[in-house]
Structure 1
Amino acid sequence: MAFLLTILVIYATVSQGVASPPSCFSCSTITQARYCDFYTQCDEGEVCFVEKTENQNGHFKYTSGCMHNTTCETFFNNATSNLRSSMHEHSVCRDCCHGDMCNNKGCGDHGPSNTRGPYCFQCDHLSDPSECDHVTICDINEVCGVVEEFFQHERQFSTGCMRRSECQESLIFGREVNRTVKSANLCRRCCEQDLCNHQCTYNPLVFKSCDDHYRAGSVKSGIYTISPDDVNTFDVYCDMEDGDGGWIVLQHRFDGSVLFNRSFSDYENGFGQLDGEFWLGLKKMYILAHSSRKIRFNLQAVNGTWFQLEYGDFSIANASQQYTLHVTNHIKGFEAQTFEWNSGQVFSTYDRDTPDQCGTMRYAGFWYDSCTLLNINGPFDWPGQYTVSVHNVQGNGNYITFQKTMMMLQ
């Protein structure tokens, strides 16, 4: 038993020796210790202190911070010193303590009210939340919060008190159509303990679409990860530069390097590379557009002229219905029937074709109706109506042949 007690004593001594220095309130000449709103990290061998001084007019002030433990222990109260009348300001009390943030009271100050909320870091627009050294006392119904955000196109952190309800609100703000928003939250963490908001435990914001990425400050087209629902997460190519930005690219062709005369399985699962020519895949398209979305086609003719075709109501059915197309609400470009002509049709390819055999005849997969007015998946460099084309119903009835096509969703 004696041996065990010896081991415990040694362990306790070693544990005290390796204890990390405390963090302490740090202020000068304030009227109450509890009013201190800055903190500092002590060095090895230091403890927290609060000191009360009196000036020649009999007014008391408090100073707090870190002090070496031996200095604290050698303090003596000189309130009755014969030097009192000759000094402009002198110490009348010094209390030292060893715990984190323990010096918000002492020398006659009883500290903050027991009904307070937590102490929280409070800083704006820092590159790292741990750099904050300003603190505040929250109300009883508030908690500590830290938010990572885009501010003027840079990732920055802000900390402070938050209402509990704010912690439950959506993390993306400012969904104005004119996109003038300059700040969007990326990460938010709320906690209830004193000074717990020193970091934003990175919980990446779940971007449901390219539009969310765009509104959060991403303005360069490229590959982004989205989570359109609570189950599926995958990469897409986002067009961020097409006027209003934030478009999910479903199909992109520009040099004929990828064969589009493929099986139904290929069209279902997708093919090509997101940074090249590709078809995203009907499975992912259904996840993205099983309810109404906006669809846009950017089409460049072989003479270099760009055309745009857009509809406000696009969706497709699930696999059991062979991804049947629904499209209405023509907004601009050519005439409404250019793509609405196909509405109600299943997706077909050469190996899962409809009775009119358009998948076979057009050498591609698409929602064909009478072999379609719009054929963006047709072969490159083929003469006549089988090429990547649209029937120019606004003009003389001839087909316009395209060298670049992009089909996008928002």
Structure 2
Amino acid sequence: METALSFVVSLSLLGIIHAGPICMRCINVADISNCVTNTIQCGYNEQCYLESVLNEDLRITYNAGCQSNTVCSTLAPTYVGYKKRGLVNCAACCNEAPGKDGPCNAHLCGVSPGDLQKTCVVCDGVHSDVAQCTTTAVCPPNELCFSGIRIAQSAIRYVVGCYEERVCKAMLDNDNTNSIIQRSGRIIHGDHGINICDACCKGYRCNAADCFTLKKNMTALFDSAPRTV
């Protein structure tokens, strides 16, 4: 009995260890920018997938998600096929992990969503682990991704979301004097506790990284623009 149980556990762990990539997922969308915040964890025997479909009304729509390794191995770069209501003029797979430019299937078939650099991890309140927050959102044009560390009830807590770019610049200007920044812009609902770290960044889910690391890189983030409040 113990041997059988160990075998099942081993198989379960194997599935976790060899899980497939995180991919963008959407169905029948005209612009893949509409699904950059919708992702799925593929299986160990799957890859990220994207297809471009020319419909009967001559509109191009996209489907994205996971596809089996078997199917992916049959797809050539010039693949063309037919669906019930249109012509598949491109179908491609990839198995790379998401990077600063988003899931790998967001860049197949010669397309790339415009909102990837502004897609941030966004959750209300404070959390014991950044990984607990899996929600993403596209921040407004005048905001950047934000990450913070707090001490709340004698425990380390994390806060993530979007913050005004103006306020992010003010964080740099006030670092040396430890001044309290008057943040008149949008704030993260439920943010509380003793402030340990505040940092802003730009890039797909960049605020899931360590706050102190992001803080070191903030100078480079604003090097190309004057630091005015």
CA distance in 1, matches of 2:122, 2:71: 32
Q: Aligned in 2, Cα 1:160/1:132: closer, same or farther, shift over 3 Å?
A: farther
Deviation at 1:121, TM superposition (A): 2.0
Check the 8 A contact 1:121/1:132 in 2, yes or no.
no
1:258 corresponding residue in structure 2: none
Q: Aligned in 2, Cα 1:102/1:124: closer, same or farther, shift over 3 Å?
A: same
Check the 8 A contact 2:146/2:162 in 1, yes or no.
yes
1:154-303 aligned at under 5 Å gives the runs 157-160=159-162, 163=165, 164-168=168-172, 183-184=191-192, 186=195, 187-199=197-209, 201=211
Q: Aligned in 2, Cα 1:166/1:67: closer, same or farther, shift over 3 Å?
A: farther
Higher relative contact order (CA 8 A, sep 6+): 2
Deviation at 1:30, TM superposition (A): 2.0
TM-score, normalised on structure 1? 0.33
1:6-405 aligned at under 5 Å gives the runs 21-38=20-37, 39-75=39-75, 77-79=80-82, 87-88=84-85, 91-99=88-96, 100=98, 101-109=103-111, 111-112=112-113, 118-125=117-124, 127=127, 128-130=129-131, 131-136=133-138, 143-148=144-149, 157-160=159-162, 163=165, 164-168=168-172, 183-184=191-192, 186=195, 187-199=197-209, 201=211
Q: Which has the larger radius of gyration?
A: 1
Q: Letter of the aligned partner of 1:104 in structure 2? A: A
CA distance in 1, matches of 2:80, 2:85: 16
CA distance in 1, matches of 2:44, 2:92: 19
Check the 8 A contact 1:121/1:159 in 2, yes or no.
yes
Deviation at 1:189, TM superposition (A): 3.2
Q: Aligned in 2, Cα 1:196/1:108: closer, same or farther, shift over 3 Å?
A: closer
Deviation at 1:45, TM superposition (A): 2.9
Q: Letter of the aligned partner of 2:105 in structure 1? A: N
Q: Aligned in 2, Cα 1:63/1:182: closer, same or farther, shift over 3 Å?
A: closer
Q: Structure 2 regions of 5+ residues with no counterpart? A: 1-16, 184-188, 214-229
Check the 8 A contact 2:36/2:113 in 1, yes or no.
no
Instruction: Report percent identity of matched pairs.
Output: 22
Q: Aligned in 2, Cα 1:42/1:173: closer, same or farther, shift over 3 Å?
A: farther
Deviation at 1:143, TM superposition (A): 4.8
Bigger fraction of residues in helix: 2
Q: Letter of the aligned partner of 1:50 in structure 2? A: L
1:380 corresponding residue in structure 2: none
Q: Letter of the aligned partner of 1:93 in structure 2? A: C
Deviation at 1:31, TM superposition (A): 1.3
Q: Aligned in 2, Cα 1:143/1:40: closer, same or farther, shift over 3 Å?
A: same
CA distance in 2, matches of 1:117, 1:32: 13
Q: Structure 1 regions of 5+ residues with no counterpart? A: 1-17, 176-180, 204-410
CA distance in 1, matches of 2:159, 2:121: 10
TM-score, normalised on structure 2? 0.53
